[in-house]
Amino acid sequence: MKRILTVLGLLAAIGVMTGLVSYSVTLYRLFCAVTGAGGTPQRVDADTATTSARIVTVFFNTDTAPGLPWRFEPKQRSIRVHLGEQALVFFEATNLSDQPMVGHATFNVTPDKVGIYFKKIQCFCFTEERLGPHEHVEMPVTFYVDPELATDPNTEDVDQITLSYTFFRSARPEGAEDLSRFQSPDPERGALLFANQCSGCHLPDKAKVGPPLGGVVGRKAASVPGYPYSPALAHAGLTWDEATLDRWLAGPQQLVPGVAMPMAVPDAAARRDIIAYLKTLKAATPSAPSPAQAPGASPSSPPPDSKAEGAPRPAG
Ligand code: HEC
């Protein structure tokens, strides 16, 4: 009997915990689901809430706590929005130090009574965020002010709202996300990463340990004639586009068990930049017949220097 009670107690506890977890995940999604975006301030009508004629001005404040050598500023001082209208604004952060550094933002809305009506749909709040040495990023925040603000007697007079963010040095830097995910793809950085991580096995225009990668974006997997692909990749039925390449680079064995590529790129921003670089690589043109040897050339003369042609080049 005692045992049954214990089991029941445990089940109840698990139930409550599961409830809490899904509840907080929903809250997190609602307030702060982070996805990438870029560009300049713009407004889009929220499709969930009804837009009202009432306009409020939202001001932006930023601060960094001592101990975090970042510059952190709003791209716009303020924005005028209709209640219910979705707004996209940007904040800039620069790591002024020579070290990668992880920060954590908290925010606060004033007047306090408005807090419940200020809905953030996307932001960088609550997450541990890493900036590389001297790295600069623009971070998007999407929000709207609930039209209920106008019907609450407590807040109906409010026409100015201030959103303040403070970045603190993170106490728990492990598992931080890279703020560079907010940056647009950088094929030049991709070329450097390719030279470091891929060029030992891949060249753009000829097979090495791995198949040539010129023109790989848009090409069917395992389709370079004459390259000895693994049966697994040969039968995978994949076509390389941004999405499949991203999954391939994140873990070739996870995407197609049994393939022969023995490495992965765990960092999402690095994968994005490498793929941006791969897009610039054109398919190799069918190899031209080698230049006729000058008559009388010694058969033992060294072959023409071919080093340069395989080097990664940030074309395009
Ligand atoms: C240690 C060697 C090695 C390294 C390093 C390596 N690869 Fe590969 N890669 C291979 C091999 C081998 C294959 C063929 C896999 C098979 O047949 O299963 C391959 C296949 C591929 C393919 C599929 C090509 C096709 O024709 O279907 C892509 C794309 C690719 N690699 C990209 C990369 C990128 C980008 C990097 C650097 C981040 C990289 N690889 C690093 C060995 C390597």
Average pLDDT over residues 225-230: 97
In sequence order, the 6+-apart residues with CB closer than 8 A to the CB of 163 are: 58, 59, 60, 61, 107, 108, 109, 118, 143
Q: Which of 202, 272, 275 to mutate to test the pocket of ligand 1 (most atoms within 8 A of CB)?
A: 202
206: CA distance to ligand 1 center in Å?
13
For ligand 1, atom 38, which residue shows the shortest CA distance? 198
72-109: b (≥16 Cβ within 10 Å) or e: bbbeeeebebbbbbbbbbbbebebeeeeebbbbbebeb
Q: Which of 193, 194, 196, 201 to mutate to test the pocket of ligand 1 (most atoms within 8 A of CB)?
A: 201
The enclosing H or E element of 204 equals: none
Whole-angstrom CA distances from 105 to 59, 81, 110, 120, 131 are 17, 24, 17, 14, 13
Task: Give yes or no for residue 222 having a pLDDT over 90.
Answer: yes
User: Is the preceding peptide bond at 111 cis, omega within 30 degrees of 0?
Assistant: yes
In angstroms, rounded to a whole number, what is the distance separating the alpha carbons of residues 56 and 82? 6
Class of domain 187-284: mainly alpha
Q: Find out whether 161 and 114 touch, Cβ atoms under 8 Å.
A: yes
Domain 28-179 has CATH 3.40.50.360: no
pLDDT of residue 126: 73
Average pLDDT over residues 80-106: 91
pLDDT tens sequence across 253-305: 999 999 999 999 987 778 988 999 999 998 876 554 444 444 444 444 444 44
304: CA distance to ligand 1 center in Å?
28
Phi, psi angle pair for 228, to nearest 5°: -80, 75
103: CA distance to ligand 1 center in Å?
35
Say yes or no: do domains 28-179 and 187-284 share a fold: no
pLDDT tens sequence across 125-180: 778 899 988 888 888 888 999 999 999 999 989 999 999 999 999 888 888 888 87
Question: Domain ranges in the chain?
Answer: 28-179, 187-284
Bridge-based pairing of strands 70-74 and 85-95 is antiparallel
Q: Which of 182, 242, 240 is nearest to 212 (CA)?
A: 240
CA 135 to chain centre: 15
Task: Give yes or no for residue 6 having a pLDDT over 70.
Answer: no
Task: Give yes or no for residue 7 having a pLDDT over 80.
Answer: no
Q: SS3 for 70? A: strand
